[in-house]
Every structure is written in structure tokens, then in C-alpha cells.
Structure 1
Amino acid sequence: MSLKMTESYATTVAAVAPVILLVAVVEVQQIVRATAERSAAMIDTYRVAIARIRTGNASISPEELREISANVSRLDNEPRGRFDRWTRVSYNIWGVMAVTLMVSLTMALGWLANDSRSAEPITAWFCFLSLAVNTFVVVTLPVGHLVLLTRKQLAGSRDYLAAVTRAVEARERP
């Protein structure tokens, strides 16, 4: 496939690149919001227990202390690390996307502003690959996140239904 810069192609790149960039910015904003909400939820979950421990409240039973300790250990080890890794990877992907889209946009606008417009196949290929890959990422990352979220919700629903079933069976036993 032979690509070359033309006025209509450069104009299309100059119009499409900012749209993809805008969608990427919206996605980043959602990641930031989700990170903040998750952090707030983690903190709120243990705020009351931590306050009781700091004040030396003697009404905390050993069982409650063990449960708090187990929950804090679980919080420190698994979920946050996985969540933080996903957030860092997402930020890096969106950062590379923003740079390649801005370079494509600048190249297309520069080509349009140049009086001696040559075919410039390398510029055309860079713009094409940038738009194609970024469009793919903008579509697939949210879909992948949705699939993972749905799987997690289904697993949680399955656990809930199993607990309800056990409770009903326990109640029906004489």
C-alpha cells in the first residue's frame, strides 16, 4: 500500500487526531476518578477502626483486632498493587498516545502550511499508523476494562448467591 500526503488526507488527519485525543483525555479522567473513588473507599472502610485503636478504646475485642489486621494486610498486599499497576500502565499508554497524536497533528498542519507540498510518504505512514493504533487503543482498552469489570461482578454475584443458598438451606434444616 502506497501512502502519500495530499491536502484531503492532511485535513482528515488534522480533524481526526484531536477527536481521538479528546476521547483519550475523557478515558484518563475516568481512570483518575476511579482511582480517587477507590482510594476514598479504602480509607473510609478503616477510618472508624483506626480511630478506635488510636484512642485506646478498650471495647475492641481480640476478634475485631484480628479482623482489622487481616483486612489491612489484604489491603496492603493484593488489590491496591494490582490497581496501581493498571493505573500506571494506563497513564503510560495514554501519554504515548497523546504524544503520537500531537506529532501527527503537527506534521499534518505543517504539511498543509508548506507551499512546496511533496508526497512525503513517511509522514503519511506515520500519521496513518498513529491514527490507526490510537483508534484501536481508544476502543479496546475501555472494552477490555468493561469485560474485566463484568467478570469481577459476575464472580461477586456468584459468591453472593452461594452465600444466600447456604443461608436458605441452613434455615430449611430442622
Structure 2
Amino acid sequence: MKPQVAYGVEAWDDGGLGQVAGILVSYSSSTINSLRFLYFKDGAFQFSEEHGKLRDNTEMIKLDYPTESLTMVHGSYNVWHDNLAQNVSSITFVTNKATYGPFGLQVQPKPNSTGPLFFKFRLGSQADWINGFHGTVKNGRVASIGIYLQTIAPATTTHSRAPASGHVKLES
């Protein structure tokens, strides 16, 4: 998908690229500069395009795919006076095995604060998985982020008369 640009904000979309197997994060002490994702689909790994620009600190998160998967993404962002997202200031990736981050600005939510705003994407069940990310980039930095969520339908088991070998036929 070709990114759309308006007011210096460039949209990006990794929808449908597969299950997340890794994340390349570039960050400073106050912002997330860029994100690049490693996806697995149809038996192959592929990197997304880089969203933003590599600078300052860079860290590669390599998940123990397929047994490790994202369960939550949370962080903070700053907003301009015109209510447009200026940049994602921190991000943390949580899996069923570990927490990676926070990357960027180290802040905690405070009631009635005029500081950054916070976001959290948490998967609803073990049958859900992140099927891609989307967002925007402004001035070479990640301005916003969202997720695509896919629910995997469980396979149904049909118990037919088992052949002499004792096999059970599974149908989905």
C-alpha cells in the first residue's frame, strides 16, 4: 500500500504481513524514531519497511517464534495544540514470555497530568494474535501506532470411526 502524506504526516500500513516474529526499535531518551517489524507468513520471514528513521539507540527484539508471541503493546505519546499526534514518546512490547522496554521516554501515568498521553493494546484471548501494525510518521519519527488483530478459529475435532491404525481425523 502506498503511504498517504498530509501536513507532513506519512501513513504506513503493515496489515496482513503475518505473525510478528521480531521488532527493530530505534529510540532516543524522548521519542521513538523508527520501528521495523519481522513477520512470518506462508513459511517465510520478511521484514516490513522501516517506519521513521534510524538514529540514536537501536535494539532488535527477536521473539522465540513460534512459541513466543505479543500479548500487549503500550506506551505514551505527545499531542500538539491542534490535537494531532506529534510523536510516540515511549513503547513497550509484552509477550507471553518477556517484557521488552520501555524504549524512549521513561514516564509513568499520573492522574490529572498535562504530560504525555498513554495507550495500551492488550490481546483479548490466546486465540488472538497481532496480524500487523499501522501508523504514521512525522519528521522522521513515529507519530502514531495501531494494531491489526486476528482471531484464530479453533479446529474442531470430528471423531469418526477410527481406522485400524488408530488415527483420528481432524477437520477445520
Regarding TM over 0.5, the answer is no
Structure having the larger proportion of residues in helix: 1
User: Which has the higher relative contact order, 1 or 2, with Cα contacts under 8 A spaced 6 or more apart?
Assistant: 1
Structure having the larger proportion of residues in strand: 2
| Structure number with bigger Rg | 1
